[in-house]
Structure 1
Amino acid sequence: MTMHVYTVDRHGTVTSDRGTVFVSSEPPRAPQPLIVRPAPCACPGCRAEVKGDVGEAQSPSLPALRAEAAWVLAQETLPRHQTVTLIGTELADCLARLIPQVEQGAEPSVLAEARRSLDVPEQPGLAGEVERVRGLARSVVALGECYDAVAGVRGRGRGR
């Protein structure tokens, strides 16, 4: 819709004509979300890749998730709750994929701790959720080291 805008003094006398202005009748759109956390690494191996032309992002790679876990463990202050929830979901998905891959070569105590941290439900409040996600991060780091050991053994076995 268009409106003609005037400046009027306290007596109702037009003091200036500001012209015609277009005013949208649609509700304002929500602003684009800001990046809530920096990417752990910008190298091509760590970034989530896009599948075909569908536009769905793949799961982040193991090096990216290990960097993310290290970032969580290095935080001295509490991150935003939205950030913690997002990272917790990614780390839990990573653990669920990683446990079967390292089951044969990992120490039973490491696997038991990873499964235990996966079973912990979301905690109320920011501090409780941060502790839960830190447990997930510790498990991702430990299983990532086991994965490197198992992958190293597999890699040497193929070369013979």
Structure 2
Amino acid sequence: MYTVDRGGLVKSDSGSRSRPTDTNDESASPALAARFLRAEAGWFIAQKTLPGHGTVKRFEESFRKHLDQLIPEVERLASEKPADDVPSKVALAAIEESRRRMDEEEAAGLKGEVERVKNLAQSVMSLSHHQESLSGVAQCLLCDHMIMDNQSWEPYEYRSRSGETGKSGRVHADCAARIR
């Protein structure tokens, strides 16, 4: 769980032991930086009020930089799979959608610009998921740490109380036991 200030900066991260203070920091581990970017994208998508124009621009820059890294990585992972591999085909379609979103011109007005950048954030979330799926790397949905090959895990599906939103994936067996 992340606590984010009004300017979009992550102030605390109770789901991991450390986090990069700057997603552009070369010394931050790639997995940790990617996790931070997903949290940032999720926060931006969930906003009910309009952030300031400068904040939107900073998020856009961050999302674009991450997409510039994710797109070739997901393409590489998909190319290593058989030609008829369905998850690879879905990932390639997500790449095309991400490129279309990156080519969109700046929207008129703050509301339009926020929606355009939310679409970039959706692409960050989508391609991050495809990268994990195609690489076989899984991240625990409860603690945000990687699930290693030697760790036991359980499938997990979360639905909101209204049943409208949710996410599915894996969780550490120990994490699942703690929430029961």
Q: TM-score, normalised by structure 1?
A: 0.62
User: 2: CA distance between counterparts of 1:94 and 1:88?
Assistant: 10
Deviations 1:2-36 (A, max 9, x none): xxxxxxxxxxxxxxxxxxxxxxxxxxxxxxxx982
The yes-or-no answer on 1:61 pairing with 2:29 is no
User: 1: CA distance between counterparts of 2:6 and 2:25?
Assistant: 16
The yes-or-no answer on 1:152 pairing with 2:120 is no
Gaps of 5+ in 2: 79-87, 138-147, 150-180
**Counterpart for residue 48 of structure 2:** 76
The yes-or-no answer on 1:118 pairing with 2:73 is no
Q: Which structure has the greater CA radius of gyration?
A: 1
Gaps of 5+ in 1: 1-33, 51-55
Deviations 1:106-138 (A, max 9, x none): 422211111111111222321121011011011
Amino acid at match of 1:68: E
**Counterpart for residue 91 of structure 1:** 63
Segments of 4+ moved more than 6 angstroms? none
Does the CA-based 8 Å contact 1:41-1:67 persist in structure 2? no
The alpha-carbon distance between structure 1 residues 41 and 96, as it changes in their structure 2 partners (threshold 3 A), is farther
Percent of aligned pairs sharing the same letter: 34
Q: TM-score, normalised by structure 2?
A: 0.56
Does the CA-based 8 Å contact 1:70-1:141 persist in structure 2? yes
Shift of 1:79: 0.9
- Tell me the C-alpha RMSD between the 2 structures: 3.0
User: 1: CA distance between counterparts of 2:11 and 2:97?
Assistant: 25
Q: Between Structure 1 and Structure 2, how many residues are aligned?
A: 118
